[in-house]
Structure 1
Amino acid sequence: MACGCTDGAEDGRPLRADAERNRLRIVAAAKELFAERGLEVSLDDVAAAAGVGVGTVYRRFANRDELIAGVFAQHLRDVSSQVSEALDAPDPWTGVVHLMTWFGSVFAEDRGLGAIMMRVDHSHPDIEPLKKQLVAGVESVFDRAVTAGAVRPGVVNTDFFGISMMLSEIARNTEATVPGLWRRYLEIMLEGIRADADRGPLHTPPMTDDQVYEIQQALGKRP
């Protein structure tokens, strides 16, 4: 599936500055279109949204699947940046909260991300090494917090994946009706993995009965 040109020139050298700017514009445009219209948008549509020629898109991405991989690879780079910030936080617990809150906000803002994660080839050569690096970073964030006594023993980096999946579903199903509701459930999840027993109040209000009904009705209408 790989074309060998998604993130670099064909000879393996880094892209020129102008070519890299175009690549980033293409990826950003594709990300927005995927979120708005789903993954079946054409490369012509992406080129128009990015303000570049179709040939420019095809030089960077041979087909739609390559573009999807490019968008996901950029997402993984963004996550790695947030992992670095979490590791730089003086307080290990603050680092965990920062990382999980960032994930929740991304899932709430980018409705196309879940579809991309399901569609993309995770063994793609532009994705697999980024994922390995990311998993190691997330593991360090959690190990650091467990060692400091901030996270209860037994919580591991794969738990972060499970929590992220739950946040993704909560945000996907409720954001249109109750924006920001995912923050309440993130608080509940964080309290569940926190090692100490100092429980503060939840800051995000719960749903009303009417909101629950509206969400259920919307889910029932999905194909």
Structure 2
Amino acid sequence: MNTKPQVEGDRTAITAQTGAASVSVPALATPTESRPLRRDAERNRRLILSAAKVVFARRGLDVSLDEIAKEAGLGVGTVYRRFPNRDALIGALYDDMVVSIKRIADEALALPRAWDGLVHFMTEMLATQAHDKGLRDAMIAQEMHLDEHDPQKGQAVREIVQPMLYALVERAQREGDLRADVVPTDIAVMLITAVTMLELTAPVAPDNWRRHLSVMIDGLRARPDGANCALTEPPLDDEQIEECMTGWKYSTRQAPRQRT
């Protein structure tokens, strides 16, 4: 028996020739017809990531994928096919966070006034973390892992944030809205400080960070000559910020807090 493919529209059929008669056998589904499965897979991925955020926030990072599957309403096998272990899941959450930070940075740069861009960036960065301690811890854990095992990927957030802050600070000072003695690393330290403040107040008042951020922002505004409080200490540079971040991340999570 001889077979040969013949194209009918956008479908391929196999024709089996048996003497004078021939039988056309439909081909397998085309890629277009398999797209719903890919949509289902992406839907499951989003369900798993959303469930992981909820469970991490509720229970911390020491939860099993079985618990995350239950929260997502999916079978355990579905979760393990997408994420073979918890580290892979934390890595996916980190990648999503990088995308989110890139979006916020782009929005900040696109605003007509650089001052509004700075306020938008600082506000949105805190808003995305305010109600999700588990996710914050997952992000920090992943950054620690990347700094040790994949430094290039670990630089992803810094490569987005640093040039944006330098551009916005320079432009906001040129436009007269930001005090002239502030440097980009000052904004970075303020954000780190705000996250620490957020950690402190979130258990009793998850949105209290907005009050204290308003005080910070007010302190950044340019005032008439002589009206700003003088800054007596020099700013940190980028290398010092890196050193501070490394010590801060490791010390707060590897060393127990001493009580007096």
How far apart are 1:137 and its partner, in Å? 3.6
Change in 2 beyond 3 A, CA 1:174/1:56? same
Change in 2 beyond 3 A, CA 1:140/1:115? same
Q: Give the superposed CA RMSD.
A: 2.9
Question: Are residue 58 (structure 1) and residue 80 (structure 2) matched?
Answer: yes
Change in 2 beyond 3 A, CA 1:172/1:129? closer
How far apart are 1:127 and its partner, in Å? 4.6
> 2:139 matched to which residue of 1?
117
Q: How does 1:122-141 map to 2 (within 5 A)?
A: 122-123=146-147, 124=150, 127-128=153-154, 130-131=156-157, 132-141=159-168
Instruction: Report if aligned partners of 1:87, 1:95 keep a CA contact under 8 Å in 2.
Output: yes
Change in 2 beyond 3 A, CA 1:140/1:122? farther
Q: For 2:163 and 2:208, how far apart are their aligned partners in 1?
A: 30
Say which SS state the counterpart of residue 195 (structure 1) adopts. coil
Q: What percent identity do the matched residue pairs reach? A: 40
Q: Which runs of 5+ in 1 are unaligned?
A: 1-14, 200-219
Q: Which runs of 5+ in 2 are unaligned?
A: 1-36, 228-256
> 1:101 matched to which residue of 2?
123
Change in 2 beyond 3 A, CA 1:55/1:178? closer
Question: Are residue 189 (structure 1) and residue 216 (structure 2) matched?
Answer: yes
Instruction: Report if aligned partners of 2:131, 2:206 keep a CA contact under 8 Å in 1.
Output: no
Change in 2 beyond 3 A, CA 1:190/1:83? same
Change in 2 beyond 3 A, CA 1:20/1:127? farther
Question: Are residue 74 (structure 1) and residue 96 (structure 2) matched?
Answer: yes
> 2:247 matched to which residue of 1?
none
Q: How does 1:171-210 map to 2 (within 5 A)?
A: 171-197=198-224
How far apart are 1:64 and its partner, in Å? 0.8
> 1:145 matched to which residue of 2?
172
Instruction: Report if aligned partners of 2:119, 2:217 keep a CA contact under 8 Å in 1.
Output: yes
Say which SS state the counterpart of residue 56 (structure 2) adopts. helix
> 1:203 matched to which residue of 2?
none
Deviations 1:187-211 (A, max 9, x none): 2211232233499xxxxxxxxxxxx
Instruction: Report if aligned partners of 2:166, 2:184 keep a CA contact under 8 Å in 1.
Output: yes
Q: For 1:82 and 1:54, how far apart are their aligned partners in 2?
A: 34
Amino acid at match of 1:51: G
Rg bigger for which structure? Answer: 2
Change in 2 beyond 3 A, CA 1:30/1:141? farther
Change in 2 beyond 3 A, CA 1:179/1:65? closer
More strand by share: 2
- Higher RCO (CA-CA < 8 Å; seq separation 6+): 1
Instruction: Report if aligned partners of 1:73, 1:130 keep a CA contact under 8 Å in 2.
Output: no
How far apart are 1:160 and its partner, in Å? 3.3
Figure out how many residues of one structure are paired with residues of the other and give that number: 187
Q: More displaced, 157-166 or 121-130? A: 121-130
